[in-house]
Every structure is written in C-alpha cells, then in structure tokens.
Amino acid sequence: MPKPTILLALDPHSAAFCAAIKRQLQEFPADQTCLIQTYTLTWDGQTFGFSGELDQFADTSFDLAQTHSKQAYVSKIRTQFSEATGELQTALIELLKTASQSKEAIAAKRQGVEISSHRVYLMLSASNQFARGVVFDIVRLIRWLFSNYFVDIPYSLETLLLLPGLFSQTTNVDYGAAYALLKELDYKMTSGVVIKGAQKVPPFDNCWLMDGRIGGLRDNLPSYADALAGFLTVEPEINGLLLGAQKVRGKIPAYSSFGYGELFFAGETTINRLSAAFAADIIREQFLPKAEFTPEASRKCLLDAKGFVLSEDFSNAFLQLERDNGKPVWQDFNPRIEIHAGMAREYGMELQRAYRQFENKELLSYKRTLEKCCKQLQGNLTSFLDRSINSYIDATPRGLHEGVRLLNILTFLYLELQTDAIGDQSQNLVTELRTAEAFLDSRLQVTIDREDTQKLLNQVLSLKLRQQQLQDGLAERKSEEQLQELQTTQKQLETAVADYRQALNTEIEQARQIRFMAIARAREQAEAAIVVAQNHLTAIENQLETATDNLDELLTEENRFRSQYLIVYPTLVAGAIFALLVLTGIFSQSTLWLLLQKFWANLVTYLLWTAVSILTYLGIVWLKYSTNIRDRIQKVQKQIQRLESSIKATAVELRRSYNEQLKLEYDLYAQNLRVEALNYLIKTAKQRTETLRQTLSDFSEIYNNLIAQRDQATTKFSETRLTVLTDADIDAYYQSFLSTLPTEKFTQEQVSRSQSWKISAEEFHNQLIPFARQQFEQLGNLSIGEVLKQSDLIAANTANLRLNQLYDSANLLLRIQDIDTNLNPTSQREITLWLGAKDKEQIFAFYSRFSRSLTALVAEDEQRLCILTRSLGFPAYFLSQIEYYRDCYERTQSEQIDEDENIPDLIPEEIGSGRELKLAYQTVILAIALGLLAQRSQGDYQFNGRSLGKDREQIALALATEFTFQELYGNLEERIETFERDFIYQKLQDLGTSASYLNPYEGKLLDHLLSDYNPLN
C-alpha cells in the first residue's frame, strides 16, 4: 500500500540528487509516486526555510572543491539554526501536513486506498559541514512535532547519507568530515537525542548509506536516481530492524544499504523506435530516392518532355480552344443587306452599322466563348499535366525527384542547351509557347532573324562535344595538355552559353516588338482595306449613274430616230404620193385612171418594186441606226452591266474587308488566349515543381524528425534501470521484420506517391505514423516473460544475459567488509523480487540459483521486473574504506572538531588496521628527529643514499604497505633502537621547537612520541 513520503535535502548536492529523483519518479505509475514529495532546506546566510523548487538551490556539479571555501563551523551553524527553530517550526508543520493532506493523498483516500505510515527521509552529504550542523536539530524538531502534533500518525524517520565517494574533487578533508559525522551519528544512535524532558530516542529509525559503487554522481546521476526512486516505490512493507537489539564489538548495527535493479520491457519505446524506423524507411525508400543523373536518364527526360507536348491529349486540348460544344466559335460576318441601284452609300452605312453591331455583340460573344473555352483548356491542360506527373511519379520510387526534373525540363527556357547534338529538336512548353507566339507570323508577314542564336547554339554544341571528347580522353590517359585544353574548353563553353542566353533573350524581346508592330500594321491595313472598298464602291456607283444617264440619252435619241425614219418620213412619202394622185385626179382623171389601170395591170411588178424600195429604205435606215445609235447603246448597256457586277463584287469585298478586320481581332484574341493558356500551363508546371519540392522538403523534414524520434526512443536508461530489449536487439528485430513487410505496402494500401504531393504534410504524417505503429502494436501487450521467450525478439543466451545483468545491477550501493558476520547474525543480505503473476514461476526459478533468501512478490505491471537487495543493520566499521576515513579524519582534525575527542571511535580498537600506518609515521618522525632521514636541498628525504621522496605521508604509507620498502623499514627501526631514550626525547623536543613545517597530524604524533619517551613516564 502507498506510503506518504517526504524526501528532504539538507545541502545543495543533495538537492540536485533529489531533483533528479523527482524527475525519474515521473516515469513511474502515478499511483506509486503521487504521495512522494521532495523539498530542500534553504539558507541564505541569515534565515532558514524549506522550498519545493529544488533546481533553484541545487548544485549539479557534485564537486566538493567548490564547497570547501563555503564551509562554516559546525558549532556556528548549530547556533544559528537553534535561533531560527521557532520560525522553522511553523514551516515544518505545514510541510509535514502536506504528506497526508495533499490533493493526491485526499484523492487516494476517496478512492478507498488505505494510507499507511508516513516516511520522512533526510538526505545529506556526509562531508558537508552545514548539513552536519543542522541535521540533528532538524531530527529533534521533527520527532518533537510528531510526538506533539501528529501523535496519531505512525511514521519513520530515516536518513540517506551520501558518502564522499559519490563526489568529484574529493580530498582528505571531505573523508575526514564524513568520518566525523559518522562518529557523531553513531554516538547519538547509541545514546539518543533529547526530544522532550528526559526522553531520548535514536535520531533515526534507519541510516541508509550510499557510496560511489557504480561511479560518481555527476556522471551516473540517472543510475543513482533510478535506484533510489525504485527503492522508494517498491520497498517491502517490513523494512529495517530493531536497532540496538544486539551490538557487535560494542557498536550499534544502525546502518543499512540497498541496491536496486529494474529490468523492464519498454513496450511504448520499442513501438516508437520500430514505427519511427519503419516510417523513416518508407519515406527514404519510397519517396526520397534521388533521380539518376546519367546521360541516358537525361535523354529519357528530354524525350518524355517532348512526348508530353506531342501527345494527342495535349494537341486535342488546343483544338478545343475555338470550338464550343463541337461547333466552331467563329461565324463569318454576313449581314443580310441587299445593295440597290444608287444605294451604295446607304449600303456602306448599313454595312458599317451591322459591323458595329457585330463587333459589339457577336464578336464580344465569341470572345466570351473563347474565354470559357480557354478556362476549359487550362483545366484540361492542368488535368493532363497532373495525370502525366502522377504517372511519372508512380512509375518508380524515384518518381518525386524525377517528376521535379521533368517539370524543370518542361519549363526550361534554354532547352536547346540540354541537347548534345546539332539537329536535335527537343521540345517543351517553352518551345510550344514560342510556336504559339509565332502562330500568326505568316499572316502578319513577320520574319524573325534567328541566324545569330543558331550560330551561338552550334558553337555551344560543338564545345560540348569537344568537352566530352577531352573528358573521355582523360579517363583513358591523363595528360597535362589535355587537362589544360579541357579547362580552356570549359571556360569557352561557359562564355558561349552565357552569350547564347543573352542572344536568345534579345531575340525573344525583338520578336515581341516586331509582332507588336506587325499587329498594329495589320489593323491599319484592315481599316485601309475597308476604306478603299468603300471608296471603290462609291466611285463605281458614280460611274453607273453616269452610264445610266448616257443610256437614257441614247434611248431618247433612238426613239427620235425611229419616229423620224419609220413614221415621219414614210408618212410624208405616202402623203406625198396620195396628194399627187389626188391632184392628178383633180386635174386629169384619165391620167389618174390610166395610171390606176397601168398599176393594176402591173400590180405585181409595182408591188415588188414597192417592196424592194421599202426594204431598201429599211435597210438604209437599219444601217444608219446600227452605225449611229445601236452600237453606242450596247456599249453603254455593257458598261452598266459591268458596273453593276463591280458594285456587287465591291460590296462583297467591303463585307469581306469588314469580316477580315473582325476575324483579325478574333484571331488576335484567340492567339492571346492560346499564349495565355500556355503561360498558365508553364506557371502551373512551375507551381507543381515548387509543390513537389516542398513535398520533398517536408518529407525530408519528416524523415529527419523520424530519425531523431528513433534515436530518442532509446532503451539506454541507466545502469540501474535496464531494458530487456536494447537498441541493438530492437534494430535486429526490425531488420528481420523488413523481409516480411516491404516498405512499398504503404504506397500500395495507404498513400501512393501520386497522392502524397496533393495532401498536406500533416495529413501524410497522420496516415504514415498510424500505419507504421499498426505493424508493431502487438508487441505492446507482451509481458517481460513473453519477451524473453520470443526468439525473434531476443536470443535465448541474450535473455539469460539480461537477467544476470539485472541481478548484478541490484548489488548494494555500498562496499561492506565481510568481517564479524558471525557476531552479527541479523545483518544478512536479503533479496526481494517483484514480477508479474504469469512470469513468476519462470523467473523465480532462474533467480533461485543465486540466493536462497529470495522473496518473490507479485506486481501489477507485468512488463517490469524489479530486484531490491538490502543489507540491514550493520555497524559503521563494516564500511570497506572505514580505515581510510579514519586516517583522513586524524590527519585533518582541527579545532572545528575538537568536540569529537570525547566521542568513541567508530572502529573497535582490537581490529583497527591504521595502527601500522601510525607506527610507520611515528618511525618517520623519529628518523627525521634523529637525523637518520636527511632532507636534501631539493626537498626529498634520503636514507642510506636512497631517495624516499618529499612527502612524509607518502613515505610512511610506503613503509607500512609496500613490499619493496620492508627491508629499509626494518633497517630504520634497528637504527632507531640503537639510540638512548633520553637522547631521543631531547631530539624530539628540538624537532618540536624548530620544525614549523609539520602539519597538525604530525604535530599530534610528535606529542604522542614525546609522551612515550618522556623520562618521567
């Protein structure tokens, strides 16, 4: 059941450690860590307080050298703390209340969770003088508060001592200070501290010691934080033992140590790493392969671009520009106006009015229809372009990059420079645009001079050919001359390319100006043709009027001629003959009668002559008519017919001129729309290029993020917290996984390459990640035992190795000597194992081989396997380095810790191993006093001509511990024994008077020697 826990740091290094523990606790289930709170004691030199902002007061350097100058006297710190106890009491009460009255604790109680006893841990650096100065007063204050204000709350007060081995830049002073704290702590654990009145209790219910078993805190902070976090969350209910129940050599077994190891299956991390790797490989293999830049690939891309513009879809799309629902958009200007005689001017005016009406209505409608068709053309071209891009992209995994390359070729302004041979007719959208711009050149009589650009292009192609030949020659045999020629050719080629581009740009600009002028000229010519036709029509009409007048005059003359010669003159002759007969009858009837008889007798003859005369007359009249009148009438009539035909033809010509002018405007408009459609397609192609590039950039960013996510999804946690599957195991499993599920499955089932550039990067990511995770979701439900059994995830020997590593990682965080174990039977190492119910039998059987005292407990989390190793209740002198601690303590002892003189030593006298070192040091001081060790000018000491070094401490250590110095050590002792005791005492007195270079420890040894050799003793 959960225990409300307060972890209180008493110094900056402990605060940094607690902050790391707090961070590590966030990775544990909330129900295990919600009741654990961390605080630090603060002091600004004047006032004390408590704060939950650990990082603000933490020292993450874990460097003791930085704290040496800041250390204060213990007595002074204790005095200041005692004065501030009244203010701290209120703050400490509020702090203790939070353990049982926090939001988390209240929520747990509401859920029916029984809150067990409270735990308070004081963490301090054993060498920190400030922590030593306040720890026992804080202990007394906490126990007093629990005994007065929290009587009904069971609690335990324990300490976590961080020994100097955990820190860097450690000196003898630090080890000596740690030993002084352990002496005082051991003394108070035995004698107790005053709570109220005469009541004394041990300051702590248990003292947990931690040392640098796996390295320093600065380099291994996560490992130590994991160990302590695990210790706080999985500690067995029964922890510790009854202190003082059985002493060992008179020392209280008040100290304990622990080791924690955790082996867990990071299911989410494993899935994240696998899915990130799979998603990254999908992008890398199916979307990001680079396009090939070989000559063959370049030629293929040029052919593909040419095939695009020569395709039926491309051509048919432009054919539909001037067709609306299958019918031609343009209908000729053909007004129903008849021209009548003498109405040429009116006809011209009516035709001009019809022209204006056609221009403002029909032509405008045609233009609108062209606009609509142009929009459809643009849509069709865009669709065709997209289909072509999609087909190109889906054809190969390099499709996206090759699509960008194809689009670049389609919109490249200087496509001719991409060819390698003269005469190659490469085509792209730009060349089609130039063709479209020149569509009306023949009609507009435009001629473009391309001689200069063609010459430069031929020069470029020749230089490229020469460059390729030189490169091939250098590939076969390197030559300095060829290399120089190649460099010269490359420079010439660069210059020629630049000149060609400049010339082509100039040619394009000149062509546009020429066409602009030609269009203006064509419009003027069309207008002039209308004026000419109108004037011609008027002139012909005038001529027709004149000819008609002439015809009328001739017809009048003809009528007059006919009247005169056919009526008047014959009437006058007949009248004259009749009058002659009448007169003859009047004057001579016989004559008349004789004439009539003669006429009657010769009637036939007279009739014949009469007919001949009449015919002769008529012939003469017809001859006169034909030669004088008829020819002129026929000429005038023919002229009139010709003029009437001319009028009709001129009227048709006038209508055609109007039609040509309207058709010119229509064609120019259609031409502009054709060019606009191509420009739109080029612009669209460039936009598609940028879209594809942005897509590739987004995919590259997603790929880099996935690689980063894969690298971040690491199973490297700490030396204490191990994962059953390492990064190498996961990566090996992934490689075998790829053989069963290729990356193209994503493009086949989820998002094809042709779809990928049409959706946003976020949408693509949202489809990619779930697909990748789905392939590994089944791993998330495996227990740790199931993972160990799956050979595709982890090999059998590797599984055993992981379990062994877990056992090793749970070793005690303190080195303990295996001495006097027979005198302390209660101090036994115990191992507790937490594991899932279905894995219990398998894993318990494995670990039973290592320890008989193994206890297995069932945990709810089946993906974690935890081992807690504890050694409970051993005396302080069990520490493996306790002799070294004491030696440093004795060497650095000063007035600060004179109060420790009355405190019993930690190490029982009968087993102390520092005696040899002390005797060797005393021998060195005696040898110096007696002159046996002579100090040369360089500062090093010599004995019998052998240099022993400059450091007296190192000389004593060598005499006590090193084999090579034992013979010299024996000789030195023999020489000392040859002197009288009184003489030795006198020399020791002289040394004490003159040798100011002795350190305090050596001065103390000198005092002991003076006491031993004093004649009065």
pLDDT tens, residue by residue, 127-176: 988 888 889 999 999 998 888 888 888 888 999 999 999 999 898 889 98
| Rounded (10°) CA dihedral 869, 875, 877, 879 | 10
- Across-strand partners of 36? 5
According to DSSP, residue 248 is labeled B
Strands 934-935 and 941-943: antiparallel
pLDDT value for 697:
94
The total domain count for the chain is 3
Q: Is residue 86 part of a domain?
A: yes
Neighbours of 649 (CB within 10 A): 14
- Report pLDDT for 581: 76
Do 868 and 985 sit in the same domain of this protein? no
Average pLDDT of every residue of the chain? 85
Residue 10 lies in a domain: yes
55 and 190 together in one domain: yes
- Tens of pLDDT, residue by residue over 225-272, are 988 988 888 766 544 455 555 777 778 888 999 999 999 888 888 999
In sequence order, the 6+-apart residues with CB closer than 8 A to the CB of 479 are: 473
For residues 955 and 815, membership in a common domain is answered with no
* Claim to verify: residue 46 and residue 170 sit in the same structural domain: yes
List the beta bridge partners of residue 207.
Answer: 159, 255
Tell whether 52 is covered by a domain: yes
> Do 936 and 865 belong together in one domain?
no
CA 859 to chain centre: 41
Contact status, residue 166 vs residue 216, Cβ threshold 8 Å: yes
* Highest mean pLDDT out of 96-105, 609-618, 705-714, 880-889: 705-714
71 and 195 share a domain? yes
Bridge partners, residue 157, by sequence: 120
CA gap 122, 119 in Å, rounded:
10
Please report whether residue 684 resides in a domain.
no
What was the pLDDT predicted at 898? 46
Which residues, at least 6 apart from 537, have a Cβ–Cβ distance to it below 8 Å?
Answer: 344, 347, 348, 647, 650, 651, 654
Is the pLDDT at 827 greater than 80? The verdict is no
pLDDT of residue 896: 44
What is the secondary structure of 766-820 as a DSSP string?
HHHHHHHHHTTGGGGG--HHHHHH-TTTS-HHHHHHHHHHHHHHTS-SS-B---S
Task: Find where tokens 């007195």 sit.
Answer: 989
Of the residues 207, 228, 253, the one at which a domain ends: 253
Q: Measured between alpha carbons, how far is 291 from 338 in angstroms, rounded to an integer? A: 70
Residues 39/52, Cβ–Cβ less than 8 Å: yes
The pTM (predicted TM-score) of the whole model is: 0.71
917, amino acid identity: L
Domain membership of residue 35 (yes or no) is: yes
pLDDT of 954 over the 60 cut: yes
Structure confidence at residue 784 (pLDDT): 86
Residue-wise pLDDT for 684-732, tens only, equals 999 999 999 999 999 999 999 999 999 998 888 788 888 889 888 899 8
- Given a cut of 90, is residue 769 above it in pLDDT? yes
Contact between 871 and 256 (Cβ < 8 Å) = yes
**Co-location of 69 and 193 in the same domain:** yes
Confidence class for position 17, pLDDT limits 50, 70, 90: very high
Give residue 913's pLDDT band: very low, low, confident or very high (50, 70, 90). Answer: low
When pLDDT is cut at 50, 70 and 90, the band that residue 1017 belongs to is low
Which residues are CB-contacts of 898 (< 8 A; sequence separation ≥ 6)? none
The Cα–Cα gap between 23 and 5 comes to 16
Give the residue with greater pLDDT, 504 vs 99.
504
Is the per-residue pLDDT at 72 higher than 60? no
Note whether residue 539 is domain-resident: no
The pLDDT of residue 855 is 84
Domain closes at, from 214, 232, 253: 253
Q: What is the mean pLDDT of residues 347-359?
A: 86
Q: Does residue 961 contact residue 1011 with C-beta atoms inside 8 Å?
A: no
- 207: pLDDT strictly greater than 80: yes
Tokens 């002198």 appear where? 877
Q: Give pLDDT, residue 407.
A: 92
Does residue 919 share a domain with residue 827? no
Tell me: do 919 and 851 sit in the same domain. no
**Which residue in this structure is represented by tokens 């690491």?**
714
Query: What is the separation of C-alpha 893 from the centre of its chain, rounded to a whole number of angstroms?
Result: 61
> Which residue has tokens 């507009």?
444
Looking at the fold, whether 862 and 946 belong to one and the same domain comes out as: no
CB burial string 315-341: b at 16+ within 10 A, e below: eebbeebbeeeeeebbeebeeeeebee
Q: Could you count the other beta carbons within 10 Å of the beta carbon of residue 24?
A: 26
Write the DSSP assignment of 626-674 as a string of letters: IIIIIHHHHHHHHHHHHHHHHHHHHHHHHHHHHHHHHHHHHHHHHHHHH
Q: Which of 33, 61, 136 is nearest to 899 (CA)?
A: 136
Please report which confidence band the pLDDT of residue 459 belongs to, taking 50, 70 and 90 as the band edges. Answer: confident
Separation of alpha carbons 707 and 730, rounded Å: 15
Residues 859 and 995 in one domain: no
Domain containing 134 equals 5-253
Residues, the chain: 1017
Report which of 182, 166, 210, 212 is spatially closest to residue 59, judged by C-alpha positions.
166
Q: How many CA atoms lie within 13 A of 828 on its CB side?
A: 10
Identify the CATH number of the domain in which residue 223 sits.
Answer: 3.40.50.1440
Q: Most confidently modeled of 112-116, 220-224, 556-560, 738-742?
A: 220-224
**pLDDT at position 820:** 60
Q: Quote the pLDDT of residue 897.
A: 44
CA distances from 986 to 920, 925, 926, 978, 1004 (A): 21, 13, 11, 15, 17
Q: Of 220, 236, 253, which residue is a domain's last?
A: 253
> Is the residue at 380 inside a domain?
no
One domain, residues 90 and 221: yes
Q: How far is CA 286 from CA 155, 280, 281, 737, 881, in A?
A: 63, 10, 8, 17, 62
Confidence of residue 824 (pLDDT cuts 50, 70, 90): low
User: Domain for residue 202, yes or no?
Assistant: yes
